[in-house]
Amino acid sequence: MYKVKTMKKRNRLIRKLEEQKKKAQKVFCAFLTLGYPSLAATSKLIESFEREGVDLIELGFPFSDPLADGPTIQFSSEWALRLGVKMQDAFQQVRDLRKKGVEIPIVFFSYLNPIHHYGIKRFVLDAKKAGFDGLIVPDCPPEEEKLLQKICCQEGLSQVFLVAPTTLKPRMKMIVRHSEGFIYYVSLRGVTGARKSLPIDIKRPLDFMRRQTNKPVLIGFGVSTPKQGRRLAKLSQGVIVGSAIIDHLRNSRGRLSPTVRFVRTLVNAVKKHG
């Protein structure tokens, strides 16, 4: 088994999670697709979300063959790809946000193919230099790409791994050991997308992981309403919302303020009632 290495550098993500733990407050993470509906809009939304109390940003890099993403995220990725969004745009955008004083932790979400194409070492170094704090690669489990894990560890870029409802306990233990920053628990079987209801058998795996680690467990996939966010916050250390935010952007036809107001309701539900 690949030996777990602990990061020696504390980034914004680690510091924010520690801060929230000390305050006994839940964590809210918002997902955005880079370049949807535009690069300028993505930057404005990140700044607005920080002001509204969002704790973390998961910034998704658009990819043509997303295995874990449902129709909503696929739509936003295809839109961004048509605009010609490139890897360098992600680095430049975060670099510009950091220069403006934006301090919210930002986690890079990407499938492995674009990272391979860019070059693993080059990617990690450029991402860290630009101001990213973490990395989520859903098609890269802990057994794969040890070089990526090694360089992320050396550079202080937290690599977050996912646990699914179908994950067996021995494997769950292994993933929990390897995941840096937090553990991403996928609340449902299938792809991303807002759901009217969530599974009822969530508590058991969360309790199991809680006995294995003191790392926070954040729940994502399928969360679409403040009520759902409130319920899941009571079971975990935090909630991740993606497709519902993209749906609001799509339905608002270019206006950002309705989405910002929606995110405000999610933040309030997760943090004040979790």
What CATH number has the domain bearing residue 48? 3.20.20.70
Determine, yes or no, domain membership for 233: yes
Rounded Cα gap, residues 7 and 167, in angstroms: 25
Determine, yes or no, domain membership for 142: yes
In this predicted structure, what is the pLDDT of residue 120?
97
Residue 58 designated active-site = yes
In this predicted structure, what is the pLDDT of residue 9?
66
Give the tens place of pLDDT for each residue, 53-70: 999 999 999 998 767 567
Mean pLDDT of all residues in the chain? 90
Residue 96 designated active-site = no
Tokens of 182: 């937090």
Residue, of 66 and 16, whose pLDDT is higher: 16
The mean pLDDT value for 202-208 works out to 89
CB atoms within 10 A of CB 175: 19
Domain span holding position 129: 12-191+201-273
Spot the catalytic one: 50, 55, 69, 180.
Answer: 69
Determine, yes or no, domain membership for 150: yes
Determine, yes or no, domain membership for 4: no
In this predicted structure, what is the pLDDT of residue 2?
41
Determine, yes or no, domain membership for 38: yes
Determine, yes or no, domain membership for 135: yes
Q: Note the Cα 23 to chain centre separation in Å.
A: 21
> What is the domain count for the chain?
1
Residue, of 154 and 188, whose pLDDT is higher: 154
pTM for the whole structure = 0.93
The mean pLDDT value for 229-236 works out to 92
Determine, yes or no, domain membership for 217: yes
Nearest Cα residue to 29 out of 120, 172, 158, 173:
158
SS3 helix, strand, coil % of the chain, rounded to 5? 50, 15, 40
Determine, yes or no, domain membership for 94: yes
In this predicted structure, what is the pLDDT of residue 8?
55
Give the tens place of pLDDT for each residue, 59-118: 999 998 767 567 899 999 999 999 999 999 999 999 999 999 999 999 999 999 999 999
* Residue 195, pLDDT above cutoff 70: no
Spot the catalytic one: 50, 58, 133, 145.
Answer: 58
In this predicted structure, what is the pLDDT of residue 193?
38
